[in-house]
Amino acid sequence: MKKRAFVFVLGGCLWWAIGCFVGLQAQQNVQFTQYMLNTLSYNPGFAGLSNGLCASALYRQQWGNIYDGTGEDKTRVSPWNILVLADAPVKVLKGALSMEIMSDNIGYFSDITFKFGYAYHLQTSFGKIGLGVQGAFLNKKAKYSNFKPETSGDPVLDGKGDESAFFGDVSVGAYLQGSRDYFVGVSVSRIIPQHNEDLGYRIQCPLVTVNGGYNFGFPSLPKVQFTATGFLQTDFKAVDWSLSALATFNRLFWTGLSFRMDAVSVLAGVNISKFRIGLAYDIATTRLIKASAMGGSLEVFVKYCFSLDADKVNTEYKNARYL
């Protein structure tokens, strides 16, 4: 019954999204280069599938240091993000609980998001499925008083103070951890329409995210595991996509490349005891590469997991997709 209800809700959201082509504004969620490591941030169905209590943090500095103004009056306006995730399986609930805190900052605008979710686990002959639902609380702020207009008396900014507002949202997701080295997920967020003229914020259409991948190896390289992954996110007015390839060596460290519309990225990571540490550097392929002091974006990811079952040892990971 739970599975049927969830599929009905997810199908209804997808049907609504497909029919949602008209709108005034296209606003995408934050897209991380290491999307294959922080699946929980965009698919609540992934909660608990790592088979342990996991906590992770990610920091992203996008396009280096870009400033507004000059001299002592300049302000850094390049985007930066902090993401904190936690999830754990709960046997009595036949699934898992999850939480997320994210700070998203760009220019004089900042968002703080809190999410709490539950995922129901279903074991099948072709793999383990997580069906998740998540509630979100978003606080958006705009510091209009910090804007530096080129001419005084700008009619748009004149007399306008700082603005702040709270919003609520719901997201759903399904994730399959296949028994034959493949994995695939689909989720829908921004289900509740939002509108606030003071903040210039308008959401009319849901955001659909699809990710997946496959693990494979070669007999001649027994200690190397390869993982190909893909990511697509759309509100049917704009599309973000990424394609990545990773190689994990002797279960200890991994490296790889990722490609998307505006950047080419280099990824690397290492397993140290129960810690997983990942780094990614994006080389911008747009004009922003000239404006950035770094020439791109830097992303740091750290995750810690331990088993909740005292009779079992900590899980060893063959490749980065389980991190």
pLDDT for 21 equals 47
Concatenating the DSSP letter of every residue in 167-206 gives EEEEEEEEEEEETTSEEEEEEEE--S-EEETTTTEEE-S-
In the predicted structure, residue 51 carries a pLDDT above the cut 80:
yes
Q: Are 83 and 32 in contact (CB under 8 A)?
A: yes
Residue 239 neighbours by CB distance under 10 Å: 12
User: 59-63, 80-84, 152-156: which range is least confident on average?
Assistant: 152-156
Has residue 213 got a pLDDT over 90?
yes
Q: Which of 214, 52, 187 is nearest to 130 (CA)?
A: 187
Check: CB of residue 207 under 8 Å from CB of residue 190.
Answer: yes
Residue 207 CA from chain centroid, whole number: 12
| Residues 290-305 pLDDT 10s | 555 566 789 999 999 9
pLDDT at 9: 54
Q: Residue 149 and residue 138: Cα distance in Å, rounded?
A: 28
Q: Of 47, 41, 121, which is closest to residue 88 (Cα–Cα)?
A: 47
Task: Say if residue 169's pLDDT is above 90.
Answer: yes
pLDDT at 13 over 60: no
Mean pLDDT across the chain, nearest whole number? 84
- The pLDDT-based confidence of 315 (bands split at 50, 70, 90) is very low
For the residues 248-269, what does the mean pLDDT come to? Answer: 94
Query: How confident is the model at residue 201, as a pLDDT?
Result: 84
Between the ranges 11-15, 67-71, 249-253, where is the mean pLDDT highest? 249-253
Asked whether the predicted pLDDT for residue 10 surpasses 60, the reply is no
pLDDT at 268: 98
Mean predicted confidence (pLDDT) in 114-119:
98
Q: Binning pLDDT at 50, 70 and 90, where does residue 90 land?
A: very high
Over 90: is that where the pLDDT of 310 sits?
Answer: no
Ranking 34-48, 89-103, 149-163 by mean pLDDT, the lowest is 149-163
| β-strand pairing of 221-234 with 163-178 | unpaired
CA 319 to CA 238: how far, in whole Å?
A: 31
pLDDT at position 8: 54
Helix (H) or strand (E) holding 102: strand 95-106
**pLDDT band at 15, cuts 50/70/90?**
low
Mean pLDDT of 182-196: 93
Can you tell me the distance from the alpha carbon of 68 to that of 60, in angstroms, rounded to the nearest whole number? Answer: 20
SS3 category, 209? strand
Length of the chain, in residues: 323
Q: How far apart are CA 43 and CA 239, in angstroms?
A: 17
CA atoms of 303 and 25, how far apart (whole Å): 35
Asked if the model's pLDDT at residue 144 lies above 60, the reply is yes
pLDDT value for 66: 72
Rounded to whole angstroms, the Cα distance separating 315 from 303 reads 13
Q: Give residue-wise pLDDT tens across range 242-255.
A: 999 999 999 999 99
SS3 per-residue string spanning 85-97: EEEEEEHHHCEEE
pLDDT for 306: 87
